[in-house]
Chain A
Amino acid sequence: MGPVIQVSAVRKTYGSTVAVDEVSFEVNDGEIFGLIGPNGAGKTTTMECIEGLRTPDRGTISVLGLDPFKDVYKLQQRIGVQLQQAQLQKRIKVWEAVDLWASLYQKTAIDGERLLEQLGLVDKRNAWFMTLSGGQKQRLFIALALINDPDVVFLDELTTGLDPQARRAIWDLVRGIRERGKTVFLTTHLMEEAERLCDRVAIIEHGRIIDIDKPANLVNRHCPERTVVLATDDLTAGDRFRTIPRVEAVLCSDSEFTIRGRGDDLVTEVIHCLSENQIRVTDFRTILPNLEDVFLKLTGHSIRD
C-alpha cells in the first residue's frame, strides 16, 4: 500500500521562531505512525499543518491525495482529529456532543451509541463534559474522532496527564483503530507509549526530524550496546567472559557480574559461554536499550529535560 500522508520539506515559523524546519516523511496505509520528541519540538505544529489547521510557510503536504490547505473541507470529511488539551463546552452532555459531531459529516456509517458502548461511556451519556474524568474526556474525544469512520485518525498527546491504567486502556483502543484498517498518526513525548504502540516513529527535535524507522530498528542502529547482569559463585567466570569477542567490559562486585558488549548476539554468546564452561548462575538478566536511550544518544539530553 502507498503512503497516506506525504510531507515534503515543510517549514513553519512563528515570528522569528522556527517551529518546523525542512520536515519530510511519509505515513503508510494502515500503520500507527508516531511523531516523538520533547514539548516544543514541533510535533503539534507539524500535525496541525497536516490537518489543515495551519498553513506551512514552505513545503508540500498531501493527505489521502488532498491538499490540506485547499481541500480542507473535503479532507475534514475523511479524517478524525483529537487535539491536544482541547475542551468542549462545560455543560454539553456526552450524547449531545456525539450527536452534533455525527450531524456534521456526510458519511454516517458509525452508530454513535455503539461507539459510546465500545469506549465505555454509555453510563456517562447524560453527563456534562465538565464532570468527566481525564480518561473519560479523552475517550469522548476518541469517539468524536471516530464518528465519521475516518480513513486517517490524528491523535495529539493522547494520554498526557492520564494515570497508567487509563493509559493502557487507551492504547488498546488505538490498536483497535488500526485493526479496523485505519491509519493512525499520533504524537507523544512518552517513549514507552511510542515503543508499545507505534509501527514506525519519527524523532523530532528543534523542528527537525532526526531519524525515522521502526522502534526496534532505531534502537539497533543507534544503541547497539547490550548488558547482561548475572550472579555466580564461580570466581573464574570473569576471565571466561572476557574471552567472548563481543564483550567490551566485565565488571564484578561480590558475586555479581556486569557484562557489556555490542550487538544482539551478545546475550546468546554469554549463554553459550555459561553452558560450555558449566558455570552455575543464580541470577541472570539483560538490560536492553530503548527509545529513551536512542533519544538521549541522538540529542545529548533526556526527553524529559
Chain B
Amino acid sequence: MGFAAMKLPALPITADPGLDENVKDLNPELIAEVINRVIDRETAARFQVYLNTCVHCGLCSDACHWFLSNDRDPRFSPVGKVKQTLWEMMRRRGKVEPEFIKECSRIAQTECNVCRRCSMYCPFGIDIAYLLLTVRRICHELGIVPQFLQDTVNSHAVTLNQMWVKQDEWIDTLQWQEEEARSEVTTAAIPLDKEGAEVFYSVIAPEPKILAQLIGNIAQIMAVAKVDWTMPSLDGWDNSNMAMYSGDFEIMGRVERAHHEAAFRLKAQRIVMGECGHAFRGAVYDGPKWLGWTEPPVPVIHAVDFYHELITSGRIKIARKFDEPVTIQDPCNIVRGRGLGAKLREIVHATCSDVRLPEPGFEHNYCCGAGGGTINCGPPWKTSRVKGNSVKAEQLAATKAHIIITPCHNCHSGIEDIISGYKLGMHVKFFSEILMQTMEIPDDLRAD
C-alpha cells in the first residue's frame, strides 16, 4: 500500500445469499482464472488506458452522490470504488480471496449506479462506470450476484421478461387495461400483433405486474392522438434488461434481440417505449453494441420524446394545466444518456403551471440512486441505498415542490424511497399520469 491505511469506520454488513452462499464455492485459483479471462478476452484499449491514465487525482469524487451523501467517505468515491476492486485485482494478478470478491460485488453492484456522472467530472473523461461494469461482469462470471437481482435475470432467461409473467397473464392484463381505457375513451384499443404499425409499444415487466394502469393510460393516449400502434402478444414485449446490469451480457443480448426482432417481425416503423431509463439504454446502446449493431435496426423512441412529438404536433391538446407545484427528475439514462432534458422541460411546462426546476439539472442532475440495477438488488440493500443519496433529498426539498415528475420507473421507485426515508412529504408521478389529467379528450371520443 505504501503508507498506513486511513482509519475509516466499519460499514454495516448486509447479508445476501447471492453473495454469502455463493462465495463458498470459490477459491483464489478459480477466481484468478476468471478475472484474467475476462480482462484478456473481453477488455482491450479502454480498460488498460483508463486504469493507466488515472493519476489518482480524486476529482471524480464530487460527482458521486454516494460519496457526497456518505459524508465524503472516500470509500464511496468513484476512484475509491475502483481502488477497492480493480486496483487490488490487478496488483494481485487476479489471485484474490473469495471474501474479496464478495466485497467487489457489494461495491460495484450495490454502491454504484453506473450513472456516468463521474465521467463528466474526471478531467480525462475516464469511463469509471465502465470499469465498475467490468467488475460486475467478473463477479457474475464467478456466480456472485445479489440474490434479488439474479432472480430477475433468471426470469429473463426463462420467460424473456423480468417478472416471471406468463403469456396468458400478459394478454389478460392487456385486455383488462383495454377495457379500463374504453371506459374513458370509446375508441381506446390495444391492437395485438398488428403488422406495419407506425408504433410498436413496449413496456417493462413491472408494468403488467404491478403498474397495469400505465398500460391503460397509454391506450387512452394513443386513441386520443389517433396513433396507429400495436403491442406484441408474444415474447419480446418486455424492454427491460436486468441482465445488462448484473454482468450477464449473454442474456442481455438475448433479451434485446427478442425485443428488436418482435418489432422487426411485425414490420413496425418504430419502437416507442414507456417511461423507463435503463430499458432505453439497453435497447439503444448496450444491447446493439453487444449484438454488433451500431444502431438499433428499428428506431427506438423514448416516451419523453414521443410525448413531446404528440404535444408539439397538436395530436394531443392540453385542456387544463396541472396546478400543483412540480419539479422534475432528469433520469440519468435519458438525459445524460440521450440529451432529452430540454424536451422533458418543454412537455412539463406545456402541462404544468407551477414548475420548479431542480439544481443541478440536465446532465448534472444527481442519480436517483435506484438505477443501474441497485434497487433490483432488493430489500437487503435498501438502507444503504437510501443513505447513499441524501444529496438527492436535499436537492428535491430545495425546490419546495409537491410532486416530482419521474419519467423513469427506477427513478419513480428510488425517489419514492428517498421521500419516505427522508420524510420529504412529496409524491412522485410519471409524466403519463400528468398527461392523463391535463389532456383534452374530444367529446366524440369521451365515454359517458
Q: Note whether A and B form a binding pair.
A: no
Chain A residues within CB distance 8 Å of chain B: none
